[in-house]
Amino acid sequence: MEFFDRFAVPHPSPAIYASMVAISLTALAVIAGLTHFKKWGYLWREWLTTVDHKRIGIMYLISALLMLFRGGVDAIMLRAQLATPDAKLLDAQHYNEIFTTHGVVMILFMAMPFIMALMNFVVPLQIGARDVAFPRLNALSFWLFFMGAMLFNISFVVGGSPDAGWTSYFPLAGNDFSTSVGTNYYMIAIQIAGIGTLMTGINFMTTILKMRAPGMTMMKMPMFTWSSLVANLIIVFAFPVLTVALAMGTMDRLFGTNFFTTDNGGMDMLWANLFWVWGHPEVYILILPAFGIYSEIISTFARRNLYGYKSMVYSMVVIAAYSFLVWAHHFFTMGQGALTNSIFSITTMAIAVPTGVKIFNWLFTLYKGKIEFTTPMLYAILFIPLFTLGGVTGVMLAMSAADYQYHNTMFLVAHFHNVIIPGVVFAMLAGLTYYWPKMFGFMLNEKIGKWTAWLLSIGFILAFMPMYITGLDGQARRMYTYSESTGFGPLNMVSFIGAAIMGIGFILIVYNIYYSTRYASRDISADPWDARTLEWATHTPVPEYNFAAVPQADSIEPLWDAKKKGHVLFKDKFEKIHMPNNSGMPFIIGCIFFAWGFSFVFGLWVPLIITTIGIFVTMALRSFEKDHGHYISVEKIEETETKLRGAK
């Protein structure tokens, strides 16, 4: 029995047992459903083995929405526990686990895949390419992310969740203070997903640099493509730092090394530094593509070209450079001295300048525009003031002397939610609504969509504005309860109500998807928003090969020119198109990585060695495999094109 003890949850509660039952039942229902409707073959052929960037994008999207609810349930539990003083809903350990998984899931397994979803679906279409540079690597990226996310998510029913915060600072995250396997899950699951993300970074940089349509020079790329290029550049340079930090943390916990320990020369602050050398660029990996989405949406619905295109590009490049120079502002109070703190204060405040440039560019794009208040535009309009507020509190936090008051209080929690929710989450929901017709061939309901946007905004304000006040009054973050005499009670109750309203907003998104799937008209044009860039120049649904003929792009807005100035998008006759073959290998490698990670978490050395060998064997097999893809013939293209044109 001793062997199996390690898989038990160290702090079981009825909620966890209920979750185990729910997970098992859901898994059984999915398996039964697939078998009953004979969909296993379909699932394997069309999805698990696909290398099509559009389908991979949709798989990222589904994962992101699932994780949004996983992280959202965590959030509601946290707010419910804090809603009243001395509440007994969660104990301290359970609370620690929940805020840890909430942070990791929301940043790495919700926001990241959401961005990957839009990047995957949109970027190749926006630059007029047939796929990404390395389609099979793209599938592998997805499966590594997915398996990493799954490994992280099973932690709360097998062995216990990580409980040292999403920052997982040592020595708290070391063996002495985090005795369960939870932090092993953290180290290894994020490692697996991180390798996938690094591959995506390489893949998309190559794609954007080399595969643009003829005529599309760097300074004619659509803004979302530019933001993706810069974000992927940051990925390539930031993620290896995380790889090393996580490897060292894993070795400290499992092999007894002394990187971050407090004896034998180890240095706990090394972890904090390495974590934030990755962690701060990471927030720009999230926000830059969000800025890109807003730029597309604002320009489309203000019916004007984007104001200050060049300054938008340069400000993003400057933000990317600065993002690597500010990491120490996350621990001003942790002893590096006045000079270092002053330097990092200044670099941090300096980031507000290029960000401010972008805000003004959006405002000038709106100025004198014929604004159309669609759901995506509503999110964008709500984003500007809310995000600016978050930016201003960011500058407050950047002042290192003042930070001694704010550090580790709810003020900080309010700040970063204030930039991430209106910044990233609203952008992703706006992007989801905006690109939904291109993905699925029908539009999401506008009325429900606008209700959602307003509920989320009001809920957001109610949930997070009170935290600024309680934070300044001294309410510490990550404390599972507080006494009534602190007077934090009423404002925390307001936060809980706000969180609940946001919860309703997120449920409305699912309802909207259900409602629109059932009732929305399938008879929509390929360009339902009257947009400006190439992704709207192909059919809906997008054919496998994206564009039958390679489009010609002579300006930033080739489709708008085609509509208004007589620019000819497609000059060429059809030619046979080379496409990559599907492959089961990425999924299989993903599965082996899952088994590898699980063995590693629990220190099961024999399975670990077997799966390690398995990973290298699959890589070797791939090396020897001959796969030159296949061609789609001209007749087949003409047939598809006629069919898609006829559908209009």
- Residue 109 neighbours by CB under 8 Å, 6+ apart: 63, 64, 67, 70, 71, 145, 148, 149, 152, 153, 193
* Contact present, 224 and 190 (Cβ < 8 Å): no
Sorted by sequence, the CB contacts under 8 Å of residue 187 that are 6+ apart come out as 168, 246, 249, 250, 253
Task: Out of 89, 270, 395, 497, name the contact with other proteins by CB under 8 A.
Answer: 270
How far is the C-alpha of 155 from the C-alpha of 16, rounded, in Å? 11
Question: In this complex, which beta carbon is closest to other proteins, that of residue 92 or of residue 613?
Answer: 613
- In the complex, the smallest distance separating the C-beta of residue 202 from other proteins, rounded to whole angstroms, is 5
Q: In the bound complex, what is the minimum distance in angstroms from residue 552's beta carbon to other proteins?
A: 18
Binder of other proteins out of 210, 522, 564, 630 (CB under 8 A): 210
Of 58 and 132, nearer to other proteins (C-beta) is 132
Contact status: 243 vs other proteins (CB under 8 A) = yes
Residues 6+ apart with CB under 8 A from 206: 133, 134
Q: Does the protein bind other proteins through residue 206 (CB under 8 A)?
A: yes
- Residue 631: strand pairing partners: 578
DSSP state of 476: B
Decide if 102 contacts 491 (C-beta within 8 A): no
Between CA 586 and CA 75, with CA 247 as vertex, the angle to 5 degrees is 80
Binding of other proteins at residue 248 (CB under 8 A)? yes
Please choose, out of 251-259, 342-350, 486-494, 523-531, the segment that lies near other proteins by the rule CB under 8 A.
Answer: 251-259
Are the C-beta atoms of 191 and 243 separated by less than 8 Å? Answer: yes
C-beta separation of 97 from 161 below 8 A:
yes
Residue 302 burial class via C-beta count within 10 angstroms: exposed 0-12, middle 13-18, buried 19 and up: buried
Nearer to other proteins, 134 or 593 (CB): 134
Residue in 275, 286, 250 with CA at minimum distance from that of residue 334: 275
Which one among 80, 87, 267, 317 touches other proteins, defined by CB under 8 A?
A: 267
The SS3 assignment for 12 reads: coil
Contacts 24+ apart (CB under 8 A), 9-12: 9/156, 9/157, 9/158, 9/159, 9/160, 10/159, 10/160, 10/179, 10/180, 11/91, 11/93, 11/94, 11/97, 11/160
- Of these, 12, 256, 356, 385, which contacts other proteins (CB under 8 A)? 256
Residue type (1 letter), 56: I
Of residues 185 through 204, those in contact with other proteins by CB under 8 A are 198, 201-203
**Segment near other proteins (CB under 8 A); pick from 76-84, 237-245, 313-321, 637-645:** 237-245
In the complex with other proteins, the residue whose CB is nearer, 133 or 414, is 133
State yes or no: residue 603 binds other proteins (CB under 8 A): no
Shortest distance, position 623 Cβ to other proteins, whole Å: 5
Q: Taking a C-beta distance cutoff of 8 angstroms, is the pair 74, 105 a contact? A: yes
Q: Give the nearest distance from C-beta 130 to other proteins in angstroms.
A: 11
- Of these, 36, 255, 370, 519, which contacts other proteins (CB under 8 A)? 255
**Residue 590 CB contacts under 8 Å (≥ 6 apart), including other chains:** 140, 143, 144, 146, 147
Which window, 111-119, 145-153, 236-244, 469-477, contacts other proteins (CB under 8 A)? 236-244
Among 133, 187, 499, 589, binds other proteins (CB under 8 A): 133
Secondary-structure percent of the chain, ordered helix, strand, coil, rounded to 5: 70, 0, 30
Q: Which residues lie below 8 Å from residue 270, measured CB to CB, with a gap of 6+?
A: 259, 260
Stretch that binds other proteins, among 140-148, 248-256, 380-388, 603-611 (CB under 8 A): 248-256
Q: Does 229 bind other proteins (CB under 8 A)?
A: no
* CA dist., res. 557 & res. 555, Å (int): 5
Angle between helices 135-153 and 53-82 (to 10 degrees): 20
For residues 27 and 620, which CB has a smaller minimum distance to other proteins in the complex?
A: 620
Rank residues 232 and 365 by Cβ distance to other proteins and give the closer one.
Answer: 232
Candidates 62-70, 231-239, 307-315, 537-545; binding stretch for other proteins (CB under 8 A) = 231-239
Does 80 help bind other proteins (rule: CB under 8 A)?
A: no
Tell which positions 563-582 bind other proteins, by CB under 8 A: 578
Does 59 interact with other proteins (rule: CB under 8 A)? Answer: no
Question: Minimal distance in Å, beta carbon 283 to other proteins?
Answer: 18
Judged by CB, which is closer to other proteins: 240, or 584? Answer: 240
Residue ranges in 275-294 that form contacts with other proteins under rule CB under 8 A: 277
Nearer to other proteins, 44 or 237 (CB): 237
- Of positions 237, 454, 570, 574, contacts other proteins by CB under 8 A: 237
504 binds other proteins (CB under 8 A): no
Binding site for other proteins (CB under 8 A): 133-134, 198, 201-203, 205-206, 209-211, 236-241, 243-245, 247-248, 251, 255-259, 261, 263-267, 270, 274, 277, 578, 616, 620, 623-624, 628
